Amino acid sequence: MIEEREEAGIAARFRGFLPVAVDVETGGFNAGTDALLEIAAVVIEMTPMGELRPGANFRYHVQPFHGSRMDPASLAVNGIDPHHPLRPAMPEKEALTQLFREIRKAVRDTRCTRAVLVGHNASFDLGFLNAAVARADIKRNPFHPFSSFDTATLGGVALGQTVLSRAVTAAGLSWDAGAAHSAIYDAERTASLFCTICNRFRFMYEDAVERAPDLAAPEVPANEPENDA
């Protein structure tokens, strides 16, 4: 049974969901009013031996939407100058369209049904993602609209640490304080933390597969047609 699921790849590991670590850098804490300034994503992949690891990554600088709020305190933390002339930012719709095209391809390639967001305090990242999707009127969002994997919760359960830097360090991974609050760095560290915890808990997953094989074998549908509209 375990060998069959490893052959099926990551599509069999999370009921057809493909985990994608996401981090957003913003102009504040309110997804409805505050600017989305940067978004990064790291696709989680599975090795032939069934181990999870970070895969392809994507990063986009985003132009503040019209009328958005940007708290100077938030900008001081993430170090973003939204109006810097050399900042390669693009409108929300363009950034999300490009990102979602890459995620949909990863979902198809792994024979998954949908992406699921992995985030540190995931509700924050998912809230800003969903708000931007609504503003841009994007119809094909590959992410599940409300389900997520929260590494703050996983870190608290597995390592006794809920702060990203502390959980990463407790897991035996490297942490560069100077690179923190960059969307791509935080997404990569979140992805590594998620993979490390899942791999260390793999024995529990394998026991569950043996104990309840019917529950552990979701039907994976055929890939959707190629369409990036």
Whole-angstrom CA distances from 166 to 104, 189, 201 are: 32, 11, 19
Q: How far apart are CA 104 and CA 108, in angstroms?
A: 6
- Which residues 6+ apart lie within 8 Å of 136 measured at CB? 91, 92, 93, 96
Catalytic annotation present for 181: yes
**CA–CA separation, 16 vs 218, rounded Å?**
7
Among candidate residues 187, 189, 163, the one with its CA nearest the CA of residue 175 = 189
Residues 61, 83, 120, 181: which is the catalytic one? 181
Question: d(Cα 72, Cα 25) in Å, to the nearest integer?
Answer: 13
Catalytic sites, residue numbers: 181
